[in-house]
Structure 1
């Protein structure tokens, strides 16, 4: 059973957003570029210079 604010939350638009914890429980990446993907699928890796500038 999914638990609100642990496995998901509902954003301002009324959409369900799965959390990092949910993705880790599921155990695999669905390759949909999820907002909280613990595997960072589809996100650019930061170079050392970009990380220093932040």
Structure 2
């Protein structure tokens, strides 16, 4: 089963590296992707609340 709808090429401003060295996607990237993955992303523009499991 393919969980990913499409691959989005990364551009400047799509992510930054955290102090731990992880890639953190920005609101810009999430909007380009066009949907919420319901993972509780730090910069989710879709309003998903991982604690309550709703948007």
Q: TM-score scaled by structure 2?
A: 0.70
1:26 corresponds to 2:33? yes
Larger radius of gyration between Structure 1 and Structure 2: 1
Total equivalences in the alignment: 43
Q: Which runs of 5+ in 2 are unaligned?
A: 1-8
Greater helix share, structure number: 1
Q: Which runs of 5+ in 1 are unaligned?
A: 45-54
CA RMSD of aligned residues (A): 1.6
Q: TM-score scaled by structure 1?
A: 0.71
Aligned counterparts, 1:1-54, within 5 A? 1-4=9-12, 6-42=13-49
